[in-house]
């Protein structure tokens, strides 16, 4: 297990990763595009395809968090968290894919910082948890249109789609648990930081309801005891609407996402938690 990066640099880690990915896709796209028109070559025959999603996950949290010798419990939806948090519990969230024929590389990042005030009601103790999630790996399209063929299906229903993927999930945790007594007479706190990386397998399936509307589900699981990760898994279900903006195909998505992780059993960062809540996103394709 490795020590967590400094708090101020953690969100920049995700931003840097996505900027590098975007620059890579732009360079590949530029290199693949002919410098002079070829009238005998059909438009859109490039084997490359890219898509970038920015999204908001309005997640609640339920579970237990350990920091050193102290353990705190939490059970709150997103609205509860906003009301009891010392800062807005949102961070960087994004998903990027590079496709070549039926193969693809994907990367998905989440950064959430929760700082909950000590109470003795629904949230039993003060919980500070800085959570970073990075999913990455290789994907294969078993059936469905290739990503490079998106423009050919504008105004038409697309074939049903099934992708399978194999990768890893890296989880960064910085847990803090505090307890404050009446009038601040008793104040106890402790904190720990660790990172965990474990294998991940999953699949997603999508089918069109109309030429514009579609539904998709994405399911994955992993852990298998690797690096003290007993289990990690997530499921996402959404409805999407396809349109265009500045001649670029885009889609608007709304759905629900849940993610669970159980790590470091009996250790100083032992955490068993479920994050779940509404999901809204915007995806661009090129």
Mean pLDDT for 228-242 is 97
pLDDT at 118 (0 to 100): 55
Instruction: Go through the domains of the chain in sequence order and give each one's CATH number.
Output: 7-285 (2.40.128.100)
pLDDT at res. 35: 44
The whole-number pLDDT of residue 6 equals 40
Indicate whether 122 pLDDT > 80: no
Q: Which residue has the tokens 């690797």?
A: 226
CA distance to 53, 93, 162, 240, per residue, from 279 (Å)? 12, 11, 21, 11
Residues comprising the chain, all counted: 286
Can you give the pLDDT at residue 125? 53
């Amino acid at each position: 297990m490795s020590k967590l990066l400094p708090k101020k640099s953690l969100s920049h880690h995700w931003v840097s990763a996505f900027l590098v990915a975007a620059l890579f896709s732009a360079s590949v796209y530029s290199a693949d595009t002919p410098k002079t028109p070829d009238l005998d070559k059909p438009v859109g025959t490039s084997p490359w395809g890219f898509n970038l999603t920015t999204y908001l996950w309005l997640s609640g949290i339920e579970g237990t968090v350990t920091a050193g010798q102290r353990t705190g419990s939490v059970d709150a939806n997103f609205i509860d968290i906003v009301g009891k948090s010392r800062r807005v519990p949102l961070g960087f969230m994004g998903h990027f894919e590079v496709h070549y024929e039926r193969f693809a590389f994907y990367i998905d990042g989440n950064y959430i910082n929760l700082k909950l005030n000590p109470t003795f009601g629904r949230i039993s103790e003060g919980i500070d948890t800085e959570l970073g999630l990075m999913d990455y790996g290789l994907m294969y399209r078993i059936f469905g249109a290739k990503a490079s063929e998106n423009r050919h299906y504008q105004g038409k229903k697309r074939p049903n789609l099934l992708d399978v993927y194999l990768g890893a999930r890296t989880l960064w945790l910085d847990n803090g648990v505090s307890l404050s007594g009446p009038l601040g007479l008793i104040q106890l706190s402790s904190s720990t930081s660790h990172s965990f990386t474990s294998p991940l397998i999953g699949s997603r399936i999508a089918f069109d309801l109309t030429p514009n509307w579609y539904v998709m589900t994405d399911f994955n699981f992993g852990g298998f005891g690797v690096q003290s990760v007993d289990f990690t898994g997530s499921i996402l279900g959404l409805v999407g609407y396809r349109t265009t903006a500045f001649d670029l195909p885009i889609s608007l998505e709304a759905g629900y996402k849940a993610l669970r992780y159980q790590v470091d059993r009996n250790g100083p960062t032992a955490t068993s938690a479920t994050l779940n809540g509404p999901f809204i996103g915007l995806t661009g394709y090129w």
